[in-house]
Structure 1
């Protein structure tokens, strides 16, 4: 039960911080005028702080074996003051406090990036040492930031394509999709390269034996889901995006907007599945034995 609760908390925290950074970043480069970013970002920052507190308590309970708060408190202090995980947690809470106070796009994107990057200290990279630890952390952080940019853009596009689509809203949607094209290409490249690097850091240049354990099976599902996401992203880039531009000229934009929304919703659902798998994989060892 504790393992399941840990996975659920990790999943919720990952999704929250990915969206916090990704939405703020999307607002910066898309010049979006439709979405009300401030309440969204402030709400995500508060949620992230609460999830972080719950996650720290659960981790400390698991490591110490204590369940009563009075007995747990010294272990919490030690975790916060004497470990890298505690330092990363404190940095994340500071970043989230900045977003709560200043939920405008520039501060939120920078603070959101710091909060999201802090999750790397709860991953497999924390087990490495020396230069290997540095490069593993760097790869993890870039992977997280690229994934956040992707996830946040997907949610923003779903929100923009929902509700009543008038001429102004549709024009802003088409413009946002076009602006996302070059960002999306960089995101896919970064996620792909860092994903391969992280596999090599964790497992090494081998497949034998790994795929037969729970870790390998979950990793296979993750790779397949990512492949489907790439197909949907290509569809959006080479078919649905141009159809939006054509619909701007024809004035028949409802069908194009609905098609884009359905495709992006599917892509977002796959992204959430991948995040759930990542939350689970972070609790497992790649050794099938």
Structure 2
């Protein structure tokens, strides 16, 4: 399988599990009571159950691809013993098994959404968090040992969870800000409330992403910066940091300008322009997040070593 196919599959796994965790978590901290029922505000059954099912499929594809890359086999029948060996005898295989199990539980939890919406989202968020954390065993931290391995895994997992929480919130805001949704004052009030209420969670996710990102860089590369300009890994990392900085600017704009502007416009009865401005900002921020996840998928296939041109 080509490098680009590998990157695309990694992107699909990351995006899917982040959405499962982040959207379910958003329903817990931003919505109340019957707002958590699928369809009342967000289509939780479609998003959560859909990402859980898709997560199983892309995880199976990822395991097949990994076994093929390590064994050199392309025929599925020949690959079977290699897959069984990886699942049973390796840490990444055991993490994969845990991921599959919790994804099934997360998807089934949506069957309880109508009767116990809060509980169903709690189960889905926990399942999504565990599934997302399992990706750390496929990252650079798997190369470490002992105490260093523990701390590298810890920062990787925190980084993934914080990124998933942010991405899930952006998808939720984008859904709530759709043009055909913002037709009533109640829907706009709900959007304004959730955007304003995201302040604490958003600040926490930004701090966690920034701190764990720096720590992960030190674990992978060390306290040196020549790699940033002399390798593909470093150049992509610089682009990722610049996009993240752009997301911070947009997030601050949403929280401190567009959100309060929407609340003021509600009181004045003229909220269309403010709602449209917030929608555009959220969509730009979400598009930037997709690019960052794509870069993360690419970075996971690269070595941070400096590339020396041949003489």
TM-score, reference length from structure 2: 0.91
Q: Equivalent residue for 2:113?
A: none
Tell me by how many angstroms 1:252 deviates: 1.2
- Select 2:304's aligned residue among 265, 286, 289: 286
Matched, 1:261 2:268: no
Consecutive unaligned residues of structure 1, counting only runs of 5 or more, are: none
Asked if the contact 1:232/1:263 (under 8 Å) is kept, the reply is yes
Q: Equivalent residue for 1:189?
A: 207
Consecutive unaligned residues of structure 2, counting only runs of 5 or more, are: 36-40, 111-119
Q: Equivalent residue for 2:116?
A: none
Tell me by how many angstroms 1:39 deviates: 2.1
Corresponding residue SS for 2:235:
helix
Tell me by how many angstroms 1:168 deviates: 1.0
Corresponding residue SS for 1:102:
helix
CA distance in 2, matches of 1:210, 1:87: 34
Matched, 1:55 2:62: yes
Asked if the contact 2:265/2:274 (under 8 Å) is kept, the reply is yes
Corresponding residue SS for 2:225:
coil
- Select 1:101's aligned residue among 108, 117, 131: 108
Q: Equivalent residue for 1:271?
A: 289
Task: State the superposition RMSD in angstroms.
Answer: 1.0
CA distance in 1, matches of 2:238, 2:277: 29
Q: Equivalent residue for 1:85?
A: 92
Corresponding residue SS for 2:295:
helix
Matched, 1:252 2:259: no
Where does structure 1 differ by over 6 angstroms across 4 or more consecutive aligned residues? Answer: none
Tell me by how many angstroms 1:164 deviates: 3.6
Matched, 1:198 2:216: yes
Q: Equivalent residue for 1:119?
A: 135
Q: 1:52-94 CA distances to partner (integer Å, 9 max, x unpaired)?
A: 0000000100000011122111100000000001011001001
Tell me by how many angstroms 1:248 deviates: 2.0
Tell me by how many angstroms 1:209 deviates: 3.6
CA distance in 1, matches of 2:62, 2:17: 14
CA distance in 1, matches of 2:102, 2:175: 26
Matched, 1:133 2:140: no
Asked if the contact 1:210/1:287 (under 8 Å) is kept, the reply is no
Matched, 1:174 2:179: no
Aligned residues, how many? 289
Tell me by how many angstroms 1:211 deviates: 2.2
